[in-house]
Amino acid sequence: MATVLAFDVYGTLIDTHGVVTELEERLGKTGKGEMAAEFSRRWRDKKLEYSFRRGLMGAYVPFGQCTREALDFTDRALQTQLSDVDKDHLMTVYARLPAFAETTGALERLAATGMRCVAFSNGTREAVEGLLEQAGIRERFEDVISVDEIKRFKPDPAVYAHLRNRLEVPPGDTWLISSNPFDVIGARHAGLHAAWVRRSLDAPFDPWGIEPDLTVTDLDALSDRLG
């Protein structure tokens, strides 16, 4: 049976900080363009926090709503005074973020080995399909599997069980590929293999005693190790 690689999307395949240039322009109108990188980081962190909190509360909403609420919060926290038009524009930009430069080539090499590749995301299927299409990599995946199908968020164990059920593949033949330590730990806790894409050498891994099976710097390195 072929090994399945389940790729996280935001931050692993797609560069979530691709919005920084747009933030510089929008924040520049209020004289705060230099805050763009910080704004991007806090927006992403808050979006994940909101998904964790909603998961614990049993108050699921689509991931896009977490993203918009996190945008509103970050605007308030940094007092950047973005208009509703600016926020709508930034949400549109978020829906067409670029893939990391090595993504296409790495996916091609992995597919050539006979491994099955799927996208596995907190985003809705519609949102992820659109994101992958505009990035030119949708055809590299045999399927898109969304947590929206069971109304839970990573790292809920039910999410990884849903992935296995959809794939109909034993846990030992399933790898999660993610740049997010919480996702890697969640997958390992659920019995899957997991590779951590450590895109920043400054990024620490959570000291929980649960380690990734494999750590790589990018998807090229992943294809070298698993290919």
Which residues are catalytically annotated?
A: 8
Is the bond into 181 cis (omega within 30 degrees of 0)?
no
From residue 134, how far is each of 57, 62, 128, 141, 194 by CA, in Å?
34, 20, 10, 14, 27
**Termini Cα distance of the chain:** 16
Alpha-carbon gap, residue 227 to 223, rounded angstroms: 5
How many CA atoms lie within 13 Å of 94's alpha carbon, on the beta-carbon side?
23
Contact 195, 215 (CB under 8 A): yes
Contact 11, 123 (CB under 8 A): no
> What's at 196, amino acid-wise?
W
Q: What is the separation of C-alpha 114 from the centre of its chain, rounded to a whole number of angstroms? A: 24
